[in-house]
Chains A and B, each alone.
Chain A
Amino acid sequence: MDRWVQSACVLCSNGCGCDIAVKDGRMVGVRGRAEDIVNHGRLGPKGLFGSWQAHRTDRLTQPLIRRHGVLVETDWDTAMSEVVHRSQELLAEFGSSSHGFYTSGQLFLEEYYTLGVIGKAGIGTPHMDGNTRLCTATAAAALKESFGSDGQPACHTDIDLCDALFLFGHNMAATQTVMWARVLDRLAGPDRPRVVVVDPRRTPVAESADVHLAPLPGTNQALMNGLVRAVIEHGWVDHDYVHRHTLGFDELKSTVEPYTPEHVAEICRVSPVDLLRAAEIFGTSQRVLSTVLQGFYQSHQATAASCQVNNLHLIRGLIGRPGSGVLQMNGQPTAQNTRETGANGDLPGFRNWDNEQHVQELARLWKVDPLTIPHWAPPTHAMQIWRYAEQGSIKFLWISATNPAVSLPELSRIRAILSKKDLFVVAQDGFPTETTELADVVLPAALWGEKQGTFTNLSRVVHLSEQAVEPPGEARSDLDIFLDYASRMGFRDRDGDPLIKWKDAEGAFDAWRECSRGRPCDYTELTYEKLRGGSGIAWGPERLYADGHFPTAADYCEDYGHDLLTGAQTTPTEYKAQRPDGRAFLKAAEYLPPHEQANATYPFLCTTGRSVYHFHTRTKTGRSPELRRAAPEPWVEMSPEDAAELGFGDGDVVLVESERGSVKVPVRIGRCRGGVVFLPFHYGYWDVEHDGHERAANELTLTEWDPVSKQPLFKLSAVRIRRA
């Protein structure tokens, strides 16, 4: 071992502080940083094994270009010239709306911000989003709807201080193991907090719960309305807080009125007694921490249900206090930065696209005409970007650091779009993937440890990740690739100077600090120097909204909000008429039965999710021997009763089929509630010989999304199962 290099883990949104061990120019291990406020030195299996091992195996080391239908190796100049040539040609003929950018939740802040400026002020396209749409869009949407702006209210310390912990659709033991370890400390220690878990599966998290509610997939909103109703009904409301700091209580109250425990029990198939016990725990605890994740975000009425979690905290006044608050979780490690910098389409710095002043601010900062910056409608969300590409009006799609050919719903459709002749696809990645295979130009990218940059975790903690080693072959950092594109495209500001004025990560960070000045996510206090040594540092105070003042003022908020049932936007005039002025919104919506239902042909509901050993589409974790061995193959999990009825034993290979496609996997008899089956979504095709498209869970999922957050409904596919 030659030296330790400071970093943080990028394999989930917890963002554990770590050091990378370097020997002879190679990464040879990691250790947790004891002084870090996030993980106190701990690392989980993915961090320990998935982070550093993959960087030397099986990488893309040279640009590739499609010639006569086949991808062949080429040099950077040829590859970039082709990208720029196609880009300019299409801009000249079809304008900026012919371009789409689909990025990730795994790059660094500096890369996102640079991409954001290129897209918004260089090209001027509204079609920018990332796979964060699949993991974290509802978190952002729910925070904006309730509080006026994105920004995580709570912090990790609240785990240590709460006396009740609610996990809504969040299998923390699988998704954020080190965070879960912190919870386990509490569960095994004195003053054990009471735990309530909402999950259709009996996960290890659910097993440790005092109350486990397992609603039928698609019925979260009914359950949440029932919880809110019970808290109101039993007089557990902090009326003084509600009066001073919120808007909309009367409407909330009348909306949830019909959701009696019996009514909810009928819709969700949960016990009314358990529902009341859960409500009582929420209503009578002094310090409540809630976390929300994909069980809510990727399901029916995602934003509405997640807003109800915010509502529970608001009506009890339990937010911004030690041990009390909400963590609308992120999935991917750097998703927060995609949202902050606007690489997901939003305007950078949590600015409001519908607020002319905010657009002017950016135009001044970037020295461009405000009309260049697309703000005539909300940014185009990912599912719509893919639809435009399918219809042929997007002709240039640049995909960075993500693998839509495994992670998007209804994969046969996605493969067809990526293969379209009139769509020019650039794919930038560290590994060959199911997506790069279908691209026209493939750009080899440096990964974590091979480049420098910062990222922000689920509790707003910013870490600096230093470069430990050189990238393999000719791979370059995503930042360098974007900068190269910008300079070849010749983007200029109003004075004729280059639009992008920075040349390295620190320069990009400083430009971003300026962009964030005065906004809710103000980074001006942070510098690379301050982030070196010690712990990661959060932007903003330890907890947001300690004073009950929310960023809802009309000239400051990030969004004017939506109707939760349809996604209809609130107009600026309507918004101002409510005079929110720092008060939070208690948003309400009735429950609607989901469109996709189990039926005679497809009698089961299939939900997809995560394994503790893998991250995303396994491009990294699948290349770590330990993790690969721990979970080598996909499976379908079902309840013992359902398996018995169908005559399946553990390990029997079955076909799981939906209207959209099918997969062939072994049965694992396990933790699902009756009528529900589970598939892990990580597995694709790069590591199997026969490419029959019978492995990825997303062969089955449907193209449908939440009306507000636009997050796809991965957790709700009607399927049938038969012996293969």
Chain B
Amino acid sequence: MHLATYLGLLHGSLRTLAGAFREVAKGHGEEPDVASTCQVLAKRLDGQVEKLGPIVERYGEHRESEPERLHAAEFEQTRSGGVGLLRDLQDLYALASFTDITWTVVGQAAQGLRDKELLDVVSSCEKDTARQLAWLKTRMKQSAPQALIASRE
């Protein structure tokens, strides 16, 4: 069963995303709302990882041997300034979209398996992922005009 491959992918990307939110929080302390919301979202991602635990125990997880394309380490160098913030949020958005679609795929498998426990996990985590994406979009829409037009940094 290839579900294990997807669980591995999901597990890895959730950790990556949590780490990335933490890095952005650290790098953009001068935007207190960004810093505190990223912390909140990172903490909730830890929760997702935890919820995935028993599932992984049941189905196993398989890490792909091909190189991972998404690294939290890349966030260690957060950018600065208005456009930098925008780019960092956009990277988070890309990562969060990745976990979003991964949850969707895992959710489909859960349907096929009629695994009630996994279905519950998927539905609560999908809600949380939607929240991440919605916040990132809201925050980017808010800062885009100022960063792209008015700022001359």
- A residues near B (Cβ < 8 Å) are 94-95, 97-98, 126, 376-378, 380, 384, 387-388, 391-394, 563, 565-571, 592, 595, 702-705, 707
Residues of chain B within 8 A (CB-CB) of A702 are 32
**Interface assignment of B31: CB less than 8 Å from any CB of chain A:** yes
Would you call B40 and A565 a contact (CB within 8 A)? yes
| Smallest CB separation, A571 vs chain B (Å) | 8
Would you call B32 and A566 a contact (CB within 8 A)? no
Residues of chain B within 8 A (CB-CB) of A570 are 134
Would you call B150 and A393 a contact (CB within 8 A)? yes
Would you call A97 and B149 a contact (CB within 8 A)? yes
Q: Which stretch from B52-60, B86-94, B139-147 is at the chain A interface?
A: B139-147
A-B contact count (CB 8 A): 74
Chain B residue at smallest Cβ distance from A712: B32
Interchain CA distance A569-B135 in the complex, whole Å: 7
Would you call A376 and B141 a contact (CB within 8 A)? yes
Among B37, B81, B144, residue most surrounded by chain A Cβ atoms (within 10 Å)? B37
| Residue interface bits B123-153, CB-to-A below 8 A is 1, else 0 | 0000000010011011001101110011111
Residues of chain B within 8 A (CB-CB) of A565 are 40, 131
| Smallest CB separation, A497 vs chain B (Å) | 29
Main SS at interface, chain A: loop
Would you call B146 and A388 a contact (CB within 8 A)? yes
Answer whether A569 and B134 are a contact pair too, CB < 8 Å, given A97-B145, A392-B151: yes
Main SS at interface, chain B: helix
Interchain CA distance A206-B54 in the complex, whole Å: 49
Residues of chain B within 8 A (CB-CB) of A378 are 142
**Interface assignment of B97: CB less than 8 Å from any CB of chain A:** no
Residues of chain A within 8 A (CB-CB) of B33 are 567, 704-705, 707
Answer whether A566 and B37 are a contact pair too, CB < 8 Å, given A376-B141, A378-B142, A393-B82: yes
Residues of chain A within 8 A (CB-CB) of B135 are 563, 566-568
Chain A residue at smallest Cβ distance from B144: A377
Would you call A568 and B150 a contact (CB within 8 A)? no
Answer whether A98 and B37 are a contact pair too, CB < 8 Å, given A563-B134, A705-B32: no
Would you call B153 and A391 a contact (CB within 8 A)? yes
Would you call A595 and B36 a contact (CB within 8 A)? yes
| Smallest CB separation, B44 vs chain A (Å) | 9
**Interface assignment of B48: CB less than 8 Å from any CB of chain A:** no
A–B pairs, 8, beta carbons within 8 Å = A97-B145, A126-B145, A376-B145, A380-B142, A391-B153, A393-B151, A563-B134, A592-B40
Interchain CA distance A40-B95 in the complex, whole Å: 61
- Contacts A387-B31, A393-B82, A595-B39 supplied; 7 other A-B pairs, CB < 8 Å: A97-B146, A126-B145, A377-B145, A392-B153, A566-B131, A568-B131, A705-B33
Interchain CA distance A567-B138 in the complex, whole Å: 8
**Interface assignment of B41: CB less than 8 Å from any CB of chain A:** yes
Interchain CA distance A377-B86 in the complex, whole Å: 15
Would you call B37 and A567 a contact (CB within 8 A)? yes
Residues of chain B within 8 A (CB-CB) of A569 are 134, 138
Closest 6 CB pairs of A and B: A568-B134, A97-B150, A568-B135, A566-B135, A393-B151, A393-B150
| Smallest CB separation, B70 vs chain A (Å) | 22
